[in-house]
Structure 1
Amino acid sequence: MKRILLFVVLLTSLLSSCGDDEITRDAERFGYQYYPLAIGNYWIFNVTENKYVRDAISQTSTYQKREWIDATVTDQTGREWYRVQISRRNTASDAWMVSGVKLISMSSSDLRIQENNQTTVQMIFPVKNGNSFISNAFRNEDHDKPVYYTYADLGSIFTEAGNTYDNTVTLLQGDTDTQLEYQEKYEVYAAGKGPVNRTDKHYFYCDDSTGEQCPYGEEYIVNGTDKLEVLESSGKME
């Protein structure tokens, strides 16, 4: 029994000593390359948002969003977080206006995003097709309603807006398709690039079974929204 306990202690110490070293030692096997983090890294997205009322687009917004890692901070537990400055501009010729901040932290086991005082588990490692995990485990509300994220299409080629990415993974974040509601939410990550596509659609269909107020069972959107973020460029600012 003493030998078994000693082995467990030694094994635990070994795993603890390895820890985040695995990020640099075997990044490709674990999937860390799908979200490269370093001070100076930035991503610029072309964003289109639509609002729907009575089965028609009532409002459309187009703009650019930039996410730029400008610093690192350490929390009380010693965990390091990258500070991401979020900016927005209406056109490519306009000046950037800061609109918010979020924090991103990567360990050997997961990647977390903290925004508006809420922490989301955005990825777990290793990245494997079909793997699901609870994304809202650290949230203050909805503990009885776990939200699952699932990996899909690992290693697939993804093409959009004239750009082709040879090695991507899709993170499924929401999937509802009923007679009354449709939701499709996912993100696509490219190796060495990070997020290249964010899609979020949520429509509420006609719920009047008599058909008097609206066409029932015909995917008539009473109200809803969709949002598409497409990577325009990325790089590093010194």
Structure 2
Amino acid sequence: MRKRSRFYNVLILAGLLGIVGGCQTNNDPVPDDSAYYPLQTGDYWVYQVTEETYSLTNGATTQAYQLQQKISNSFTRNGQLFFQLEESTRQSAQNDWQISATRTVYKSLSEVVSQDNNVPTINLLFPISATTSWNINTYNGLSDTVALQYQNIGRPFATGKLSFDRTVSVVGPNDSTLINLTKYQRVYAQNVGLVYRENTALAYCQSTPDCIGKGKIDSGTRQKWTLITSSRVP
């Protein structure tokens, strides 16, 4: 009887350990979505920017330069921590940086909001999920509704000479028709921040039957940012 009793006790103990182990598995740490948009004074990101401009009068022109975003300061307002972000440009690595803009950005448990010329826009909305969507202009008076959503959550991404193991893409209007092409894309890497950005708005030729549907660009712009170095990249 004692041997059988001990056997049953062992079975009960094993069952309890299995239950406890299962509970621990379910309580794994939740990924920190805000790590895709790190904010710390002194951080900087340098991008190679290319801009293509199309017009009927001047044809197509291309401009290339470098752009730096640097967090120069932080302050608290109404209990919320804000970061001051300086944006500078230069033609190449041999030139000095020239400050071109200053904006503020803050991050909360629910969102990341940047403010440029007193116009706040929502960059990220948490949680990061395929079902999460938002209007970038929710907090400003602009009438345009720019709907954003997440794609490619947690996937690797390579740009230029850099590659990142975990990224998320924010996409907006991405439409291609015989009349125009529009594209909005941002790619954020975990613990790094923005690594790629694209804005495209092109209008195709409609003036003659010969050019309709041929992809000939009449007007518009295409701008791409590619991260080339950062304080957060080894």
2:217 corresponds to which of 199, 221, 238: 221
Give the SS at the match of 2:224.
strand
2:45 corresponds to which of 38, 43, 46: 43
Aligned residues: percent identity? 27
Structure 1 gaps, min length 5: 1-25
Q: Is the 8 A contact 1:30 1:125 kept in 2?
A: no
Q: Distance in 2 between matches of 1:91 and 1:28?
A: 42
Alignment of 1:5-154 (within 5 A): 29-54=31-56, 58-75=60-77, 77-142=78-143, 145-154=144-153
Q: Distance in 1 between matches of 2:164 and 2:74?
A: 29
Q: Which protein is bigger by CA-based radius of gyration? A: 2
Structure 2 gaps, min length 5: 1-27
**Count of residues in Structure 1 that have an aligned counterpart in Structure 2:** 205
Superimposed CA distance per residue, residues 172-230 of structure 1 (whole angstroms, 9 cap, x where no aligned partner): 0221222211101101000011000001111101233x52xx60122221111111100
Superimposed CA distance per residue, residues 132-162 of structure 1 (whole angstroms, 9 cap, x where no aligned partner): 11111011120xx422111000011101112
Q: Distance in 2 between matches of 1:48 and 1:57?
A: 17
| RMSD (CA atoms) | 2.1
Alignment of 1:157-236 (within 5 A): 157-208=156-207, 210-211=208-209, 215-235=211-231
Question: TM-score, structure 2 length as denominator?
Answer: 0.82
Superimposed CA distance per residue, residues 12-53 of structure 1 (whole angstroms, 9 cap, x where no aligned partner): xxxxxxxxxxxxxx9962411101100011000011111123
Q: Distance in 2 between matches of 1:196 and 1:229?
A: 8
Give the SS at the match of 2:142.
coil
Question: TM-score, structure 1 length as denominator?
Answer: 0.80
Q: Which moved more, 1:196-205 or 1:122-131?
A: 122-131
Q: Distance in 1 between matches of 2:130 and 2:154?
A: 9
